[in-house]
Amino acid sequence: MSTAKKTTAFSWPLLGVTMTIVVVGLVNLYSAVYFWGEGGSQQLFWSQLVWTVIGSVIMVLVAALDYRIFYRFSYVFYILVSILLVLALILGQAVRGTHGWIQLGPVSLQPAEFAKLAYIFVAARYFANNPNPDGYRLLELWKPGLLMLISFTLIVVQGDMGSSLFIICIFISMSLFAKVKKRTIVSCAILAAIVAIGVYNFGLKDYQKERIFTFMNPEADVRGGGYHLMQSKIAVGSGQMFGKGYLKGNINKLRYLPERHTDFIFPVFAEEWGFFGSLLLLALYAALLLIGIDIGSHARDRFGAFVAIGVVSLLFWQLAINLGGVLGLMPLTGVTLPLMSYGGSSMIAIMASIGLLFSIYRRRFMF
């Protein structure tokens, strides 16, 4: 392969956008854990830096692999992750009411983050092997639907409603990309409504139901259930056009903003960099999604195309659900902002996903 072709076979825009968001995330995380007159929780920052390095290495390794290896081992990976989900439920420690963590010495692993990738592989394999130009009927979606339901149920039982939503969203996104009949869409909408009612009545815990009530009327209990959302809105709005400046966000520094390093990392950024900075950050995310869509549309096979669309849908829904929650556009679900929020499992899973996009892109030029 010539030097020019080697250069073409690597997506420099994808690398540039990804690493820019990662660097912005690290800089913002430092501010999130730094308090006036006290310094900061350096341990969280350095821990995230270590996870970022590990995630970057994994991204490079996945990019170097032929993504088709995940076709052959898709069900093996899915079964292994499902076993980890069961182990997390039985043996895992509870974090904020969620039994979704496995303690491995000093490291905590959240299998739900990898369940999203596992489902993308098995769903992509199904749609790659069963093309239907006329559109899928509901019964023809039973296999990816059943696999989705298994992962969804295991995560819901853990108490992690946020992660469980991703499995559904990925299934819907990949099915629409594969093309479904209009009757299927209507049937799925009705089925989803029935499932939603059942989950609300029998699957949600009291604090999760409270989040829905808080979303509907956060001003009703500003010192209780509505406190998180109100402080988030205040932080975002107080940034105005150009923000208060780095390390100068008083809503965060005076500790009014809860979960500032995980769920509410975006209000920290918006308060310090304002509307203009937030717009630039969203433009970076939009570029990442568009690059992923372009890679999927030019993949050399159906499996690669569906994996790319699955990764893009994962990134999009994680971005949309996090921002929707902290801005009061939907109920809070405890979902992290990709590449920005603190979390080792999330960072590794997202970086591995982006590594898949690199692998799919490179394989277009190697055969």
**166-169, long-range: CB within 8 Å, 24+ apart, which pairs?**
166/116, 166/314, 166/317, 166/318, 166/321, 166/335, 167/115, 167/116, 167/119, 168/192, 169/313, 169/317
Q: Taking a C-beta distance cutoff of 8 angstroms, is the pair 338, 315 a contact?
A: yes
Q: Which helix (H) or strand (E) holds 107?
A: strand 107-109
Residue 265 has pLDDT above 50, yes or no: yes
Residue 332 has pLDDT above 80, yes or no: no
Average pLDDT for residues 287-314, to the nearest whole number? Answer: 95
- The tally of domains found in the chain comes to 1
* Structure confidence at residue 299 (pLDDT): 93
Residue 148 has pLDDT above 70, yes or no: yes
Tokens describing residue 354:
């982006």
Name the pLDDT band for 355 (thresholds 50, 70, 90).
very high
* Structure confidence at residue 181 (pLDDT): 85
Listed in sequence order, the residues at least 6 apart from 289 whose beta carbon sits closer than 8 Å to its beta carbon are 312, 315, 316
pLDDT digits (tens, 9 = 90+) for 34-58: 875 555 567 888 999 999 999 999 9
Highest mean pLDDT among 106-110, 111-115, 161-165, 206-210: 111-115
* Structure confidence at residue 166 (pLDDT): 87
CA dihedral 128, 132, 137, 143 (to 10 degrees): -20
> CA angle, 251 as apex, 250 and 255 as ends, to 5°?
100
Tell me if residue 132 falls in helix, strand or coil.
coil
Q: Does the predicted model carry a pTM greater than 0.85?
A: yes
Name the pLDDT band for 206 (thresholds 50, 70, 90).
low
* Structure confidence at residue 3 (pLDDT): 47
Mean pLDDT of the chain: 85
- Which residues constitute the domain of residue 314? 3-365
Is the pLDDT higher at 197 or at 216? 197
* Structure confidence at residue 209 (pLDDT): 61
What are the percentages of helix, strand and coil residues in the chain, rounded to 5? 70, 5, 25
